[in-house]
Chain A
Amino acid sequence: MNPALTFNYHAVIAIFRFEMTRFARTLWQSLVTPVITTALYFVVFGAAIGARMGDIEGVQYGSFIVPGLIMLSLFTESLNNASFGIHMPKFTGTIYEVLSAPVSAFEIVLAYVGAAATKSVLLGLIILATASLFVPIHVEHPLWMAAFLVLVATTFSLFGFIIGIWAKGFEELQFIPMLVITPLTFLGGVFYSIDMLPAGWRTVSLFNPIVYIISGFRWSFYGTADVSIGISLAATLSFLLLCIVLVWLIFRTGYRLKQ
């Protein structure tokens, strides 16, 4: 390696490719399972229950839940992919090689989080394509939709990366995704608009950060939102910033990475 090199792009590519190979090796678990699960949501909520529901904010119920379901998968997969991606080398001990390589913290994060986010975006697009087989879909702001997809995938992959470093075992690895993010997501307006809730519960829902993310993403599809798009964007960017600061602190202190 050239000592003057300031960016180790070979390392970024190596880690990125390693992670994508792992994704390809576990394609059934990584891709097919979430797609089947989402398809079942459409069958149950779109066809069976959705047929008995009226339109929400002028959008057919089956179509209304599409952005929320994509976000649900995006959160789960981003967290799982990124946390598992960094936790496994820690668990098996192979992290020694990354820590002893001429790689900066930024390059490590870029590679691991970039790979996890790429997988999640890919999954989101596949779910979108799957959804279009069941219900009519209209994307009013495609650029915003793509931007939200990338932004949320990156943010939650960063969050997953933090969880992967923080977790001491597989139980802790699943703790936040299963017991915090999934309930917040289900209560965050995936299947309903928070305007449908009684006033008190609506106010409570506004403390759920997931509401802002799902609302913003849904706005990019149908132009309607529970909260203004500016607030949604600000909330998502704030969470991204918080994750960046936490990752910076982890590498600065070596927290649970280096002794």
Chain B
Amino acid sequence: MPSPPVISISALGKTYASGLVALQDVDLDIHPGEIFALLGPNGAGKTTLISAVCGIVTPTAGSVRVNGYDIRRDYRAARAQIGLVPQELYTDLFETPWDTVRFSRGLFGLAPNPAYLERVLRDLSLWDKRKDMIMTLSGGMKRRVLIAKALAHEPQVLFLDEPTAGVDVELRRDMWALVRRLRDSGVTIILTTHYIDEAEEMADRIGVINKGRLILVETKTELMKKLGKKQLTLHLLEPLTAIPADLSGWALTLANDSADLEYVFDASAEQASVPALLQRLGELGIGFKDLTTRQSSLEEIFVSLVSERQ
């Protein structure tokens, strides 16, 4: 029997006082221990969705339960289980990492636990900087401080809003490794990102949000399989002037001054069509010196999904 969802969002809606509809009828279950990536263009509603779950934005419709606790009625129990790392570097610049994580732990209703906080800071390579003022730390370090603050109260669910926005490649890799370690320790991770490769690299499931609506939720592998395209490119021995009528059963196009023959097909489609194509080409005496294949990236799938619904 599957575990009950750690977060259950039902018919969630948010309309701001200005009339802007930021969320519409969002239904989503997050399973324990998964990494869930929420993708969407700017202004799609990603941050509003996170803010609504965390209590920063008041929803105008629907409900959210965290481990069964309603975020409004049982807000103490619900919020105690959530850690939030905001997109912006919101930190108290005159505080030290040590003081600020102690503050966060207390704020979430837990008694001091220096040993646990030391472990968190060490895990995030912040221990040596624990007595430095946050204002003296680099951008990457400040982001780690925010993560340390979010982890200070031992949350079961961690929201990461654009965790690698504006950080260098090395730090992004570090962040990804950290997120995996957190998941391995039992924390459920929900992250929003602009970087499709980030979702592709890390997520177990992916949700795509656009104009406040959650338009798709799939496991990453299912998504790639269902919506991904494969492309076979044959580099011909002799350029073709036109695609022979005998090949009309395949969606073929000529490229590279007719020197290449391209075949694009669904990743989930019957794979036998490729051997059949190659066999037919042989029968027609169309030779090729090389062939390459590629599968569409998540980015291409995302762009296609969002543009379809514009």
Q: CB within 8 Å of B: which residues of A? A: 1-3, 5, 8, 10-11, 13-15, 17-18, 21-22, 25, 92-94, 96-104, 254, 258-259
Contacts and interface: CB of A to CB of B under 8 A. Distances in A.
B76 A102 contact: yes
B107 A15 contact: yes
B24 interface: no
B300 interface: no
A22 B92 CA distance: 11
Interface residues of B, number: 37
B56 A258 contact: yes
B244 interface: no
B80 A96 contact: no
Nearest to B150: A97
A100 B84 contact: yes
A99 B107 contact: no
Contact of B84 (A3, A21, A96, A103): A96
A11 B76 CA distance: 12
B107 A14 contact: yes
A109 to B, nearest CB: 15
Given A258-B56, A258-B57, A259-B16, A1 B110 contact: yes
Contact of A254 (B58, B78, B90, B106): B58
Interface of B: 16-17, 54-58, 69, 74-80, 82, 84, 86, 88, 90-94, 99, 102-111, 149, 153
B80 A1 contact: yes
A24 B110 CA distance: 25
Given A92-B90, A92-B93, A102-B78, 9 more contacts: A1-B77, A1-B108, A2-B109, A8-B109, A10-B106, A17-B106, A99-B55, A100-B54, A102-B108
A97 B149 contact: yes
Contacts of B92: 18, 92, 94
Given A96-B84, A259-B16, A102 B77 contact: yes
Nearest to A9: B109
A123 to B, nearest CB: 21
Contact of A1 (B55, B57, B76, B93): B76
Contacts of B57: 258-259
B94 A25 contact: yes
B137 to A, nearest CB: 15
Contact of B103 (A1, A18, A254, A258): A18
Contacts of A94: 90-92
| Shortest Cβ-Cβ A-B pairs, 9 listed | A14-B106, A1-B109, A3-B77, A93-B90, A102-B76, A1-B80, A100-B54, A102-B79, A101-B107
A147 to B, nearest CB: 30
Contacts of A258: 56-58
Contacts of A5: 76, 109
A22 B105 CA distance: 18
